[in-house]
Amino acid sequence: MPLASIPSPSEGVWYLGFIPIRAYALCMIIAIGFGIWLSERRWRARGGEKGTISDIAVPAVIFGLIGARLYHVITDWQTYFGPRAIKEPYQALFVWEGGLGIWGAVALGGVGVWLACRRRGLSLGAVADTVAPGIAFGQAIARWGNWFNQELYGSPTTLPWGLEIDQAHGGEPGVLYHPTFLYESLWDVALGFGLILAGRRFTLRYGRLFALYVAGYTFGRFWIEGLRIDLVGGVDHAVTFLGLRINQWTSIVLFIGALVYLWVTRNKGTEQIVVPASQHEASHEENGGPASDPIEST
């Protein structure tokens, strides 16, 4: 047995009377809250109205959670359907048991953001760039929910930071596993700070900072995903194609797409609306000043 290791929590659910408090859900709530808080501060710094990001977050979170679960069920369908299923089909609805795919959250959550921006008359690119670091930090926090659930760990390792996994969660006695939740959490923290610095240094606009987030996250996710195993009864239930896991293929496609977007928009210089015209004009009228264009440009 190695001299050092990372223990897994003995339980991931606590009870307040008869009310279950699930660590996975708690991590998600903290992650969402922190992401909104940081994004709100960044939006105000760009001249946006207070409360805008909080309002946009409502449809974004609702759509995002639905998309995240759909992505998980679609890419890991063998867990719930078919001869290799280890869970009942109706358990695909049990979000609290874990299983939220980030790209489903970004895709469908992005639809929620687009609808909110369109209704408010805001530039989608400006909002996307604003929330990019918050998403990265939020992911870093949310990954600790996987630690509590003892899921999404990596292959066996003898490294001193190997993770202990109970037999009930697929682990073997005396065997340690790569703590991929920790790898991704640390990667996301570094990415979040990197995005903030890049945004200040290069003044990235028009969705380019968000594209940089996509490129940075998928670059790290590719190698971290390669370490993962989905062991149940000694069998890896991961869905693969041409030797790579589905999430690795998704990372490749999105990484290339992000680089293409960064190149195509390298000379873009159109104006971005961060304050709706009606609100901007009303604000100036209340202050007795002339109304100016509610735009942001570089």
Under 8 Å between Cβ of 247 and 287: no
148 contact partners, CB below 8 Å, separation of at least 6: 9, 12, 23, 24, 27
Q: Is the dihedral of CA 93, 98, 99, 103 positive or negative?
A: positive
Instruction: Check the annotation: does 143 bind a ligand.
Output: yes
d(CA 180, CA 267): 38
Nearest to 56 by CA among 112, 132, 129, 133: 112
Kindly give the interhelix angle for 124-142 and 23-45, rounded to the nearest 10 degrees: 150
| C-alpha to C-alpha distances, 120 to 10, 123, 131, 158, 277, nearest whole angstrom | 47, 9, 17, 54, 9
d(CA 188, CA 79): 27
Q: Binding site: what residues are annotated?
A: 143
